[in-house]
Amino acid sequence: MHTLFRHGLPCAAVALALGLGSGASEAAGNEIVLGASVQLTGPVANTGRYYNDAYKLAVDQINRKGGVTVGGKKYTLALKIYDNQSDVNLSVRQYTQLVSQDKVNFLLGPFASNFALADSAVSEKYQIPMVQGGGASDQIFSRGFKYVFGTLAPASDYFSSTIKMFKQLKPQPAKVALLYADDAFDVSVAKGTRPLLKDAGIEPVLDERYSSNASDFNTLLSQIKSKEADAVLVAGHETEILNFIRQAKSLNVSPKLYSFTVGVPSEDFRKALGKDAEYAFGMTAWLPSETLKDDWFGDAAQFAKSWGAQYRYEPDYHAASGVADVEALVKAIEKAGTLDPKAVRDALAASDFQSLYGHIKFADNGQIHLDQTVIQVQNGKPAAVFDGDKFLVQAKYPMPDWSKR
C-alpha cells in the first residue's frame, strides 16, 4: 500500500503540474502586449528601474494619444514586466515564459549588456522581435541575430569623445590608466578604447580587468598612485564606481582626471557621493534638449518635465533609450500594418524617424549609432562639457587634491 502511495506520488506531481500549465493567458482582443524582464531589485536595480519607468510612461503616453493603429483597427498597448532580481538566468527563464506561456506580442529589453546578450538568444530562438535600450556591447550585435535591435550607442565608442577632449586639455594627460569590469559591456568598452588611446598616441600605464561587483579597489588605487597616472578611465557599474571614488578618497588618490562609463548622469549616484562626486567625468548620448522633437512627447525637454512630474527624479539617457524602444516598436507595427512578428521585424530594420532620444535608425547589425557628449559633475549637477569637437563650457581640470577640496 505504501509503495502504491510512493509511486503514485510522481504521478500526482505530474498531474498537479499539468493543471498549472493549461492556464496560458492570451492577449485581449485589441491589445498589443509588450513583455520585458527588468532588474527591479538586485545590484543593478538602480538603473534597471529607469527602464521599468520608461516603458510605463511611454505606453501610457502613447495610449493617451490614441494608441496604435494597425490595418485600420485601433489597439491599446499593454505591458507585462517581470523582476529578474538582477539575475541573468532568471531573466532568460522569464523571457522564455513571456514568449511561450504569456504569449506576448513583442519584447522590450532588460538593462545591461550581459542580460541583453543572453536574453536576445530567446528572442532569436522564438523569432519575436526584441528592441532593447540597455545593452551596448558589440558582442550582442556581432552574432548575426536578426531579431534583436539596440538603441544604445556602441560600447566601443563610449570613451571616444573623452579621449578627443584630452588633446584640448592643458596639461594634456600623458599617463592613462584603464580599468574595466569583466562583463560584456565593460569588456567591449575596453576593447574599443585601446585603439582610440593608441591613435591619440597614449600608451596606458595600467590596463586591468577586475571582477564585476568587486568592492575592494585598494590594490588598483595603490597602483594608480604609484604609477602617477594623470587620467583614469573606468568602465564599470554604479556600485563599483561608488566604492572606487570613496576608496580613492580614503587612500588619498587623486589623478588629474577620472571618467566613468556610468554614474555621473544619474541623480542617485551624485546624491550618494555628495560633495565627493564633484569633478567626476562621464558621458551621455542624450541631453534633454528642445531640439529633439518627438511625436508623442513634443520634445526631449517636455519629456524630462513629464518624467520628473510623474516619478520625482530626473531622467537620463537610459530613460530616454527605454522610451525610444517602445516608440520604435509602435512605429514599426504601424508601418508593417500587421502584428506578424516577421513583418514587424523587417519594419524595425528599416526604422528611420526622429524621437526625443534622437534619430532612430538601426545599422545592418541592429545597433543604433549616436555620439557621446562628455559631461562633468560641476556644483553637484552634470554639465555638458565637450561635444566631440569643442568645449561647451569650461572643464574643471585638473582635479584638486582631496585635502584641498
Partner 1 sequence: MDLLLQVLINGILQGGLYAIVALGLALVWGVLNIVNLSHGAFIMLGAYISWYSFQWLHLDPFVGLPLTAVLMFIVGYAVQRGILNLIVRSPMFNTLLITFGLEVVITYLAQLVFSADFRTINPSYSGHNITALGVTIPVVRLAACVMAIVLTLAMWYFLLHTRLGRAIRATAQNLSAARLYGVEPRHLYAVTFGLGLALAGAAGGLYGTVSQINPYIGATLTAKSFAISIIGGLDTPLGVIAGGLILGLIEALTALYIGPTFADVASFGVLVLVLIVRPTGLLGRTA
Partner 2 sequence: MKTWRLPLIAVVLVALALLPWYGSDTMIQFGISTLLLAVLAQGWNIIGGYTGYPSFGNSVFYGLGAYGVGIAMVQWQLPFAVGMVFGVVLAVVFAFLLGIPVLRLKGHYFAIATLALAQIMAAIVSNVPLAGQNIGLVLPPLNNDRMFYELALVLLVAATLTVWWLTRSRFGFGLIAIRENEEGAVVMGVDTTRYKVLAFALAGVFSALAGGIQAYWITFLDPGSAFDITLNVKMIIMAVFGGPGTILGPIVGSFILSAISELLSSEVTSIAGLFFGIVIVVAVVLMPRGLADVVRRFHRLGWRYFVDNIRTNRI
Identify what 46 binds: partner 1, partner 2, none; CB under 5 to 8 Å per kind.
partner 1
- Please give the Cα distance from 366 to 128 (Å, whole number): 14
Beta-strand pair 31-38/73-83: parallel
Query: Running DSSP on this structure, what letter comes out for residue 262?
Result: S
List, in sequence order, the alpha helices (H) in 157-217: 160-166, 184-199
CB of 313 to partner 1, least distance (A): 14
| Interaction between residue 125 and partner 2 (CB under 8 A) | yes
Q: Which of 50, 51, 75, 82 binds partner 2 (CB under 8 A)?
A: 82
| Interaction between residue 276 and partner 1 (CB under 8 A) | yes
Identify what 149 binds: partner 2, partner 1, none; CB under 5 to 8 Å per kind.
none
| Interaction between residue 211 and partner 1 (CB under 8 A) | yes
175 contacts 146 by C-beta, under 8 angstroms: no
List, in sequence order, the alpha helices (H) in 177-276: 184-199, 218-226, 238-250, 267-273
Q: Which of 182, 295, 314, 334 binds partner 1 (CB under 8 A)?
A: 182
Amino acid at the residue 63: N
The values of phi and psi at residue 30, to 5°, are -115, 55
Q: Which of 25, 30, 100, 289 binds partner 2 (CB under 8 A)?
A: 100
Q: Which of 199, 216, 352, 389 binds partner 1 (CB under 8 A)?
A: 216
- Please give the Cα distance from 236 to 241 (Å, whole number): 7
Identify what 249 binds: partner 1, partner 2, none; CB under 5 to 8 Å per kind.
partner 1
What is the DSSP code string of 300-360?
Answer: HHHHHHHHHHHHSS---HHHHHHHHHHHHHHHHHHHHTS--HHHHHHHHHT--EEETTEEE
Identify what 42 binds: partner 1, partner 2, none; CB under 5 to 8 Å per kind.
partner 1
| Interaction between residue 184 and partner 2 (CB under 8 A) | yes
Order the strands of the 130-132 sheet from edge to edge: 68-70, 73-83, 31-38, 106-108, 130-132, 148-150
Site string for partner 2, 206-235 (x = CB under 8 A): -----xx-----------------------
- Please give the Cα distance from 293 to 358 (Å, whole number): 8
- Please give the Cα distance from 119 to 186 (Å, whole number): 18
CB of 213 to partner 1, least distance (A): 9
CB of 9 to partner 2, least distance (A): 5
341 contacts 70 by C-beta, under 8 angstroms: no
Nearer to partner 2, 17 or 309 (CB): 17
84 contacts 90 by C-beta, under 8 angstroms: yes
CB of 257 to partner 1, least distance (A): 20
Query: Running DSSP on this structure, what letter comes out for residue 253?
Result: -
Instruction: For the segment 37-56, give every residue that binds partner 1 (CB under 8 A).
Output: 41-43, 45-46
CB of 11 to partner 2, least distance (A): 6
| Interaction between residue 243 and partner 1 (CB under 8 A) | yes
| Interaction between residue 90 and partner 2 (CB under 8 A) | yes
| Interaction between residue 320 and partner 2 (CB under 8 A) | no
Identify what 194 binds: partner 2, partner 1, none; CB under 5 to 8 Å per kind.
none
Identify what 309 binds: partner 1, partner 2, none; CB under 5 to 8 Å per kind.
none
Dihedral (Cα; 309, 315, 321, 325), 10-degree rounding: -20
| Cα-Cα end-to-end distance for the chain | 80
94 contacts 84 by C-beta, under 8 angstroms: yes
Q: Which of 79, 251, 301, 383 binds partner 1 (CB under 8 A)?
A: 251
Identify what 351 binds: partner 2, partner 1, none; CB under 5 to 8 Å per kind.
none
List, in sequence order, the alpha helices (H) in 127-168: 160-166
Dihedral (Cα; 25, 40, 48, 295), 10-degree rounding: 50
Nearer to partner 2, 211 or 222 (CB): 211
Query: Running DSSP on this structure, what letter comes out for residue 61?
Result: H
| Interaction between residue 171 and partner 2 (CB under 8 A) | no
Site residues for partner 2 per CB under 8 A: 1-7, 9-11, 13-14, 16-18, 20-22, 24, 82-83, 85, 88-90, 92-94, 96-97, 100-101, 114, 117-118, 121-122, 124-126, 139, 143, 182-184, 187, 211-212
Site residues for partner 1 per CB under 8 A: 41-43, 45-46, 85-86, 182, 208-211, 214-216, 218-220, 222-223, 225-226, 239, 242-243, 246-247, 249-252, 276, 402
